[in-house]
Amino acid sequence: MAAKNKKVGIVSLGCAKNLVDSEMILATFRDTDYEITSSPSEADIIIVNTCGFIEAAKKEAIETILEMAHYNNSKLVVTGCFVERNLDELKEEIPEVDLWIPINQYGELHTKIEKMLNDGTKLHKMDPLQRVVSTPDYCAYLRISEGCNNFCAFCAIPYIRGRFVSRPYEEILEEAKLLKEKGIKEISLISQDTTYYGRDFPDKKPNILDLLKALDEMGFYSIRLLYLYPDEISDELIDFIGKSRSIAHYFDIPIQCASDHLLKLMRRHGTAEGMKELFRKIKEKMPEAILRTTLISGFPGENLKDQKETIEFLNELKFDHLGVFAYSREEGTLAYNYPHQVRESTKERRRAEIMELQRHISYRQNKTRIGLEMEGLVTGYDKTRDLYTLRSYWNAPDDIDGNIYFKSKRTLYLGDIVKIKITDAYIYDLIGEIVE
């Protein structure tokens, strides 16, 4: 094959779902003269795949586009959620960009880029089964659906990504098989609403349980579910996870708030009491289960009573991992026009109050883990501190849950599976030593 003499680079912003799109975009360049580079100064074409979920993400997207526009010798293409939402404005404000491709035009992404390059390059169509997996070679994300049907009052996702569409069951299994053949040990299932999988199929089958059963049979070391909607989690699903071979006993269940008054305003299903029962049930069936959640502080209409109820809820449930975002007022969403918008300083104060509480909870929870043995994947090595990093069922990828650091006398390699004993605990991190 002739040497590749041109280079393409991509900057992927936002969540793992966007990363999967970026991986598919890179794969459109296979069999061409373009090789992939991580250095924008070398690239003949730079693609910025943006996120437009909240204000901070939009700011980051604009900064990145402007930064990449400095590389004058490259063509600049911008894709993703932010483009989907703000195409006209962006076109006007950033004329340096050569090509804008919103999500609804991904079907023609390859032809649009070919036309812009105008150098005879023939790209492939974006194909979910063809991705340049950019995560370390022992782990990958696996997307199981697109869009969302929930229309939570604060969220722009259904307007950006459209209604919920499950990926065909066979296609997911085929992709999982390809990942397994590549030597991937850990997969993380992603979606906007993982528990909803299959509900848009005739007879609502196959559903998430069927999918998990099939994936569990494939022999992955670990399968992690991300983004479960609280009131869609059935007893059957919990029981299956409990007895499965490879599904992590890790429950990522964003609750957003724990006051019935706010849940209604947010247009969330269920009640605070219902969510409490769910978490209690998971812990009863699987005392070792890790609970993670996400909250929004300062949603319009939020008052001191709501904050108090949420704090009481968190004190009682004691999540292992928790994230809080200050509410971001997104145009086009229901809550954008709500009265009683909360001041930025109040949002921030309430966010800080929850995080302060969580620091105490997290530290106390982590202390109880001292002496426990945990198995997981080696995911990093810091030469200066001679410390390895481990990912067990306790923590998800991308450092969202803190890290487990440990020492080992024998040399280990990324992706090795090892067992360690926890010897010390910090607020968000754990320390251990290898069990020989």
- Between strands 404-407 and 387-392, the pairing is antiparallel
Question: What's the min distance (Å) between Cβ of 193 and ligand SF4?
Answer: 5
Is there binding between residue 139 and ligand SF4 (CB under 6 A)?
no
Cβ atoms of 329 and 336 within 8 Å: the answer is yes
Residue in 117, 155, 176, 258 binding ligand SF4, rule: CB under 6 A: 155
Residue in 44, 84, 175, 193 binding ligand SF4, rule: CB under 6 A: 193
Question: What's the min distance (Å) between Cβ of 34 and ligand SF4?
Answer: 34
Residue in 157, 208, 223, 262 binding ligand SF4, rule: CB under 6 A: 157
Amino acid at 383: K
Question: What's the min distance (Å) between Cβ of 97 and ligand SF4?
Answer: 27
Stretch that binds ligand SF4, among 151-159, 243-251, 362-370, 374-382 (CB under 6 A): 151-159
Distance between CA atoms of residues 259 and 263, nearest Å: 6
Is there binding between residue 328 and ligand SF4 (CB under 6 A)?
no
- Contacts to ligand SF4 from residues 213-242, by CB under 6 A: 229
Q: Closer to ligand SF4 at the Cβ: 256 or 408? A: 256
Q: Closer to ligand SF4 at the Cβ: 69 or 335? A: 335
CB-based contacts of 40: which residues, under 8 Å, 6+ apart? 9, 11, 46, 68, 71, 74
Stretch that binds ligand SF4, among 62-70, 111-119, 126-134, 144-152 (CB under 6 A): 144-152
Q: What is the DSSP letter of 287?
A: T
Q: Which residues is 322 bridged to in the sheet?
A: 293
Neighbours of 3 (CB within 10 A): 6
- Between strands 45-50 and 75-80, the pairing is parallel
Tokens 């029962």 belong to residue: 277
Residue in 28, 145, 192, 403 binding ligand SF4, rule: CB under 6 A: 192
Residue in 158, 198, 230, 298 binding ligand SF4, rule: CB under 6 A: 158
Distance between CA atoms of residues 307 and 320, nearest Å: 20
Stretch that binds ligand SF4, among 6-14, 147-155, 176-184, 307-315 (CB under 6 A): 147-155
User: At how many degrees (to 10) do helices 55-69 and 81-93 cross?
Assistant: 50
The residue among 30, 168, 165 whose CA lies nearest residue 103 is 165
Backbone angles phi, psi at 230, to 5 degrees: -50, -45
Is there binding between residue 148 and ligand SF4 (CB under 6 A)?
yes
Distance between CA atoms of residues 327 and 307, nearest Å: 14
Residue in 121, 150, 271, 341 binding ligand SF4, rule: CB under 6 A: 150
Stretch that binds ligand SF4, among 61-69, 143-151, 374-382, 390-398 (CB under 6 A): 143-151
Q: Closer to ligand SF4 at the Cβ: 228 or 317? A: 228
The residue among 298, 299, 251 whose CA lies nearest residue 275 is 251
The residue among 118, 115, 88 whose CA lies nearest residue 102 is 88
Question: What's the min distance (Å) between Cβ of 333 and ligand SF4?
Answer: 9
Question: What's the min distance (Å) between Cβ of 82 and ligand SF4?
Answer: 16
User: Which residues of the chain form contacts with ligand SF4 (CB under 6 A)?
Assistant: 148, 150-152, 155, 157-158, 192-193, 229
